[in-house]
Amino acid sequence: MLPGVWLLATVWALGGVVRAGMQSRAAELLYAYWVYRLDVEVSSAQYVADELAKPGRDSKAPPPDPNEARPWMVANPGPGGWNEPGDWRSGVVDTSKPGLNFHGFVRGTAQSGFGIQYGRLEGQRRVADPWAPRLSEIQDIMRFPFDDGTPLGDINNVKDKFRYSYRGFKLEDLLGRLSERVRNEPAGSYFKFDNVLTILAKRASDLYAKNPAVAGDYFERMIDNLQDGRLVRKMEQAPFKIRAAWKFCEAIDLKENKQGPKLFESDIKTRTVTIALGAFEGMSYQDFDVTRTVKGLENRMDEKDEKFRIKLAAALEKEAKVWKEKYSWDSNGEIHGTVINREKELQKALTKQLAGEGRRPALGCGYPQAKGWGETR
């Protein structure tokens, strides 16, 4: 067979897919961080109000300290503990707000292994406000240099244990006390990433109901991050869809044409997709185009192959509708399409709640069901 589109997609994937994967994880990291900060702010304010309202409280007693009580749920408890001086560029902890800043949050929820730690020094250099980082500042967080000077590994070598300085969430530590809501759900199901995103959104929905004035700004950021994560994750998914299309067609070809294959990888056609919204506006990639593929087969194949072509085209058009859910497994065993679809659902639900269209926040706004999410609040 002639070298075809999968070879080209593989070459592109070495740079494009890896970078898209890093950018989608950065957007999803910010989404989780904003849920955490929303939880800290609303829960701390409620804790202080409740403590001050207790009958018989000594008026001379020191004010209640949320950092001591830690009334929030996301990332609590976790191995991150308290803010460390190293979480601050100045080396002095800012106590003006309760909870962890961005660097402390990442430190406390990140996967650890091989002695790898989040590149906090680079994070301090790039992030202007450690309480409120921008996606543009942390989009390359997975490749921030190691604090101890260990060289970063080859980004394209999946076996290189030093290719990332940030490897993603340790999900139990991210969910914190929310993970206590597991009932009879298997851990493998509960901690699938689409479900984690949903659990965080439902926590945010509860907090919005308690204090919409505070939650509104956080919702705006969360919606933007879900959009950015979804759009760039589709870019990450695209080469796998192209490969799936070729493998699918090749299998039918080998089955139907015993005298020899009739298809080439170059028969799989693509289209250029340009991201038109958000932080990654203007980025382009190649995605599988079923219409162009079917049309191309019609133009290329002889009349004697018409029966095979019609059968292949019908099967291809049917299968293409489910590829986003059936293919494109990432390194964690999750299906990109499932996460993409869930991010779209959550973006819509958060937007509706922000617009005040839901009477009961967690139900009336179209939030998908989260596995293991208990009824207690």
Pick from 353, 8, 132, 42: which is nearest to 367 by CA? 353
**242 and 9 in contact (C-beta within 8 Å)?**
yes
pLDDT at 15: 60
The pLDDT tens digits of the residues spanning 27-54 come to 999 999 999 999 999 999 999 999 999 9
Confidence band of 244 (pLDDT split at 50, 70, 90): confident
Q: What's the per-residue H, E or C state across 261-294?
A: CCCCHHHCCEEEEECCCHHHCCCEEEEECHHHHH
Average pLDDT, the chain: 85
Bridge partners for 113 per DSSP = 116
Mean per-residue pLDDT for 133-143? 96
* pLDDT band for position 81 (cuts 50, 70, 90): low
Dihedral of CA 70/76/77/80: which sign? negative
Q: Is 13 exposed, middle or buried (0-12, 13-18, 19+ CB in 10 A)?
A: buried
CB 271 within 8 A of CB 289: yes
Q: Which two tokens stand for residue 41?
A: 């702010």
Tens-place pLDDT, residues 331-376: 433 467 888 989 999 999 999 998 875 533 444 457 787 776 653 3
Whole-number Å distance between alpha carbons of 8 and 209: 50
Per-residue pLDDT at 326 = 53
- The percentage of residues in the chain with a pLDDT greater than 90, rounded to a whole number, is 57
Amino acid (1-letter code) at residue 255: K
Average of pLDDT values for 231-247?
88
Flag whether pLDDT at 179 surpasses 90: no
Q: Which residues pair with 241 in a beta bridge?
A: none
pLDDT for position 267: 95
Burial of 209 (0-12, 13-18, 19+ CB in 10 A): middle
Please determine, for residue 107, whether its predicted confidence score (pLDDT) is greater than 80. yes
Percent of the chain residues topping a pLDDT of 70: 83
Mean pLDDT of 206-223: 95
Tokens of 179: 């993970």
For residue 224, what pLDDT band results from cuts at 50, 70 and 90?
very high
Token representation of residue 342: 């869930």
- Render pLDDT for 255-313 as a digit per residue (tens, 0 to 9): 999 889 999 999 999 999 999 999 999 999 999 999 999 999 999 998 899 999 999 99
How many CB atoms sit inside 10 A of residue 137's CB?
17
Q: Confidence class of residue 328 from pLDDT cuts 50, 70 and 90?
A: very low
| Cα separation, 195 vs 369, whole angstroms | 8
Q: Which residue has the higher pLDDT, 178 or 363?
A: 178
Does pLDDT of 5 surpass 70? Answer: no
> Which residue type does 162 have?
F
pLDDT surpassing 60 at residue 65: yes
